[in-house]
């Protein structure tokens, strides 16, 4: 039953996140908000909604391994599995600013969480803590990023954005989407915890594998569809934006609500996430593209990471 509830919860997260994004986008367009801002904020946040629901729920319940492992695992999954798989369907090309600004900020975000967590183990402690203060620091960095996005978007957006007709059903979609995301998050956290206990394995393993892949499905679907339709610049931008939101918003909010304790193994995963971010950045830096060969390299790296997690 726990496996069935896990699948139902993941399916609810993916579908309701999609409904939420559509509803928000339509309302934003009806209010005349520039489409560029919609794409950079609402879509990135919407595809990160499953991770947010799982991590915040886990944080409130004191399941710190799931809360942190979900974010770290999802970011690694986004960079290696999502981009790698998308690269098989088309040559992904990113705008120069996505690589030189947004991707750099994503790497900076992973470095920040590494710095905040490294001190505990350098001092010889067995466990680390992402404190409420650390959470607010992450949220402040998110505010700076959003400010930069908004300023850039307003400069490039048309002075008069064409408005669409306001529809009441879009508000209903937003409410249904939020409700489904919350319920789906509860199902995933509870069932994942039960499965971990039943199989006598750590919650961190479940979070880094099953939950991470499940909550990354919105990014995977969005990127693959974009690649097949030839809208290749969306794929990389979606993943980079989602990774920034995962660290700064989800970890920031989760730890601001309840401090997150973690083990040395989780700290190693943070290091792996940081290294993976740098490797993918270097692969895309030369020509801002990810083709089939680079896609195979990324998928091979993800397979190696999964093997490492299971062996560990």
Cβ pair 272, 265 in contact under 8 A: no
Give me the CATH number covering residue 166: 1.20.1420.30
Cβ pair 256, 262 in contact under 8 A: no
Question: What is the per-residue pLDDT for 135?
Answer: 93
Question: What is the per-residue pLDDT for 42?
Answer: 65
**Environment class of 88 (CB within 10 Å of its CB; exposed 0-12, middle 13-18, buried 19+):** middle
Residue that has been written with the tokens 């908000």 in this structure: 33
Question: What is the per-residue pLDDT for 59?
Answer: 77
Question: What is the per-residue pLDDT for 176?
Answer: 84
Question: What is the per-residue pLDDT for 157?
Answer: 52
Strand 260-262 to 289-290 pairing: unpaired
What's the total number of domains in the chain? Answer: 1
**SS (HEC) of the chain:** CHHHHHHHHHHHHHHHHHHHHHHHHHHHHHCCCCHHHHHHHHHHHHHHHHHHHHHHHHHHCCCHHHHHHHHHHHHHHHHHHHHHHHHCCCCEECCHHHHHHHHHHHHHHHHHHHHHHHHHHHCCCCCEEECHHHHHHHHHHHHHHHHHHHHHHHHHCCCCCCCCCCCHHHHHHHHHHHHHHHHHHHHHHHHHHHHHHHHCCCHHHHHHHHHHHHHCHHHHHHHHHHHHCCCHHHHHHHHHHHHHHHHHHHHHHHHHHCCEEECHHHHHHHHHHHHHHHHHHHHHHCCCEECHHHHHHHHHHHHHHHHHHHHC
Question: What is the per-residue pLDDT for 37?
Answer: 59
Note the pTM of the prediction, 2 decimals.
0.78
Query: Which range of residues forms the domain containing residue 295?
Result: 2-311
Q: Tokens for 222? A: 């969005």
Question: What is the per-residue pLDDT for 278?
Answer: 95
Low-confidence residues in the chain, pLDDT < 70: 21, 25, 28, 31-47, 152-164, 218, 221-222, 225-235
Q: Tokens for 215? A: 């909550």
Question: What is the per-residue pLDDT for 240?
Answer: 85
Residue 213, φ and ψ in degrees, nearest 5: -70, -40
Question: What is the per-residue pLDDT for 222?
Answer: 65
Cβ pair 120, 111 in contact under 8 A: no
Question: What is the per-residue pLDDT for 272?
Answer: 95
């Amino acid at each position: 039953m726990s496996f069935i509830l896990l699948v139902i919860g993941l399916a609810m997260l993916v579908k309701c996140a999609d409904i939420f994004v559509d509803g928000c986008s339509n309302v934003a367009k009806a209010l005349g908000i520039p489409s560029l801002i919609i794409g950079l904020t609402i879509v990135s946040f919407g595809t990160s909604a499953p991770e947010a629901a799982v991590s915040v729920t886990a944080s409130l319940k004191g399941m710190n391994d799931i809360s942190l492992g979900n974010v770290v695992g999802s970011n690694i999954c986004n960079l290696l599995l999502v981009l790698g798989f998308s690269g098989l369907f088309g040559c992904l090309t990113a705008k120069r600013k996505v690589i030189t600004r947004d991707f750099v900020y994503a790497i900076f975000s992973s470095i920040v969480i590494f710095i905040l967590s490294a001190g505990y183990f350098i001092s010889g402690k067995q466990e680390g803590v992402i404190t409420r203060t650390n959470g607010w620091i992450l949220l402040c960095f998110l505010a700076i990023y959003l400010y930069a996005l908004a300023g850039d978007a307003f400069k490039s957006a048309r002075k008069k954005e064409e408005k669409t007709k306001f529809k009441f059903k879009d508000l209903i979609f937003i409410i249904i989407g939020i409700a489904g995301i919350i319920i789906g998050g509860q199902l995933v956290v509870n069932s994942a915890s039960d499965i971990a206990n039943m199989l006598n394995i750590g919650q961190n393993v479940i979070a880094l594998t099953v939950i991470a892949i499940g909550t990354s499905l919105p990014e995977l679907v969005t990127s693959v569809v974009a690649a097949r339709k030839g809208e290749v610049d969306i794929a990389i931008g979606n993943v980079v934006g989602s990774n920034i939101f995962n660290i700064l918003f989800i970890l920031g909010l989760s730890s601001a609500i309840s401090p997150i304790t973690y083990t040395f193994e989780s700290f190693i995963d943070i290091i792996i996430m940081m290294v993976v971010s740098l490797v993918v950045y270097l692969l895309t830096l030369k020509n801002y593209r990810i083709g089939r060969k680079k896609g195979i390299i990324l998928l091979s790296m993800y397979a190696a990471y999964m093997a490492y997690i299971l062996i560990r």
